[in-house]
Amino acid sequence: MGEQVVGRSRRRPWRAVRARAALGAALVVGLFLVVGSFVFVALLSVSLHGGVAQSASSEAEVAAARVEQSGTARLPESDDQLLVLVDADGQVLESSDDEIELPSPVPSGDTVDATVDDEHVLFAAEDVEVDSDELRVLAGRSLDDVDDAVSTVAALLAVAVVVLVVLVAVTTRVVVGRALAPVEQIRREVAGLEADELHTRVEVSPAGDEVSRLAETMNEMLARLDRAQAAQRRFVSDASHELRSPLASMRQYAEVAVAHPDRVEVTELAGTVLAEGARVQDLVDSLLLLARLDERSRHGVGRAVDLDDLLLAEASRVRALGVVRVDASGISAAQVQGDETILARVVRNLVDNAVRHARSTLTISSSEAHGRVRLVVEDDGAGIAPQDRGRVFERFVRLDEARARDDGGSGLGLAIVADAVRLHGGSVEVETGAAGGARFVVTLPGVVPPA
């Protein structure tokens, strides 16, 4: 049931697009055709009626002239003309056909509509004076042919409008359907991909049109998803491996203690469990911090943080360990905008990484210029090969696997540095230091003073 609903919801938009396009085109074309047809029929009716009125007016002029010449209030004899003579009050004095039905009194005006033998007739009027009496002569012409012609044209136009509107709707639906066919093909291909098929790519048309760009965008999205999935799988695999090692060590010691309690000292067992537990906790904390960094954005990050104070605190901590010599003479005042806890973790990870790889000396410095803060942590160790300088910021990447594990590195420290620096709108790079070791250079935006 659920799959059927999903299928319908996926197919319905394309039908709706075709239907809406066809309906819109039909409405627009239909509106123009209807308005145009009304205007055309109206103009045709006016033109034909005007012709009939002109003919009737000519006949009325001739009849009025003959009445005036006769000097009597009588119509001239005519077998094929419809003539009416009315007085000044509009009363009919004489007509050539007894079937002529005129309103009484006859309204004044140049033309009068009337009915003769159930035929629509247009009468044109012409004034004439006989023996000082004001008379009007009306000559009529049939409008039936005109009315029939107008009705026929209107009917033909109505049929034509309907046919054209249907034709436009069908054509638009077909054209839009064909235009959307490649889009539907892309949708079907992508919808049919399984989780392990993200390496598949949709076909890109050489036309270079919008559909081609959609296919290219879809392929880019699939590539990103493929990379993200691969990274996720690698991340889960590496995290499982990292957790398995200390957990297996703790289990092994516990099993030995249970099997041979006389051979294992409680102090030794507790020390091992605490050390491995701390390793697990450090790994989990690092994973949680990375998850926090993934969820956050740069907007609204923290407050003004004295970066030099964080650096000096780390220098004091490392000196207290007595492992390497620390040169902190290059630390100068520098403020950045950010999360103090995250920035402290950045400094701690860079310093711990340098301590693990330094032979004898660790150098820390900071400076601020042109609104940017520069943090440098350098060791005098073996350095990092140019081809590995990009990989070193990836999660669970160790350039020296055995030594890194022995020294307690989880492979997440520099990944946290890279993500945290990006979160704060900065950048981090690896260079070769003056002593041949690795030099990590972090650049962050400085605090903008209030206006």
Segment 22-47, tens digit of pLDDT: 888 999 999 999 999 999 999 999 99
Q: What pLDDT sits at residue 294? A: 66
Segment 198-231, tens digit of pLDDT: 778 877 877 777 878 888 888 888 888 887 787 7
Segment 353-381, tens digit of pLDDT: 999 999 999 999 999 988 899 999 999 99
Identify the CATH assignment for 300-445 out of 3.90.550.10, 1.10.1370.30, 3.30.565.10, 1.10.3720.10: 3.30.565.10
Paired sense of beta strands 325-331 and 361-369, if any: parallel
Identify the bridge partners of residue 83 per DSSP, sorted by sequence position.
Answer: 139
Q: Tell me the angle at which helices 210-259 and 266-295 cross, rounded to the nearest 10 degrees.
A: 170
Residue range 393-397: average pLDDT?
80
Q: What pLDDT sits at residue 312? A: 95
Is a pLDDT exceeding 50 seen at residue 5? no
Residue among 281, 439, 294 nearest 354 (CA):
439
Question: In the structure, what pLDDT confidence band is assigned to residue 410 with cuts at 50, 70 and 90?
Answer: low
- Given a contact cutoff of 8 angstroms between Cβ atoms, the answer to whether 235 and 395 are in contact is yes
Look up the pTM and report it.
0.51
Taking the C-alpha atoms of residue 398 and residue 246, their distance in angstroms, rounded to an integer, is 18
Determine what percent of the chain is predicted with pLDDT higher than 70: 88
DSSP string, 320-368: HHTSSEEEEEEE---EEEE-HHHHHHHHHHHHHHHHHH-SSEEEEEEEE
Is a pLDDT exceeding 70 seen at residue 83? yes
Residue type, 416: I
Taking the C-alpha atoms of residue 395 and residue 397, their distance in angstroms, rounded to an integer, is 5
Is a pLDDT exceeding 60 seen at residue 297? no
Segment 167-190, tens digit of pLDDT: 999 999 888 888 888 888 888 888
Identify the bridge partners of residue 113 per DSSP, sorted by sequence position.
Answer: 122
Segment 415-450, tens digit of pLDDT: 889 988 988 889 999 999 988 899 999 999 988 766
Segment 260-278, tens digit of pLDDT: 777 777 787 788 788 778 8
Q: What pLDDT sits at residue 7? A: 44
Question: In the structure, what pLDDT confidence band is assigned to residue 2 with cuts at 50, 70 and 90?
Answer: very low
Taking the C-alpha atoms of residue 134 and residue 68, their distance in angstroms, rounded to an integer, is 11
- Given a contact cutoff of 8 angstroms between Cβ atoms, the answer to whether 76 and 59 are in contact is no
Mean pLDDT of the chain: 82
DSSP string, 5-47: HHHHHHHHHHHHHHHHHHHHHHHHHHHHHHHHHHHHHHHHHHH
Q: Dihedrals φ, ψ of 419, to 5°? A: -65, -40
Q: What is the DSSP letter of 398?
A: -
Q: Residue 114: enclosing H or E segment and its boundaries?
A: strand 111-116
Q: Dihedrals φ, ψ of 432, to 5°? A: -95, 125
Q: Where are the domains of the chain?
A: 2-164, 210-291, 300-445
Among 4-13, 142-151, 382-391, which stretch is predicted with the lowest mean pLDDT?
Answer: 4-13
- Given a contact cutoff of 8 angstroms between Cβ atoms, the answer to whether 96 and 62 are in contact is no
Q: What pLDDT sits at residue 164? A: 95
Is a pLDDT exceeding 60 seen at residue 12? no
Is a pLDDT exceeding 50 seen at residue 80? yes
Taking the C-alpha atoms of residue 392 and residue 439, their distance in angstroms, rounded to an integer, is 13
Segment 300-345, tens digit of pLDDT: 557 889 999 999 999 999 999 899 999 999 999 999 988 888 899 8
Nearest-Å Rg of the Cα atoms of the chain is 49
Fold topology of 210-291: Helix Hairpins (1.10.287)
Segment 123-143, tens digit of pLDDT: 888 888 887 778 888 888 888
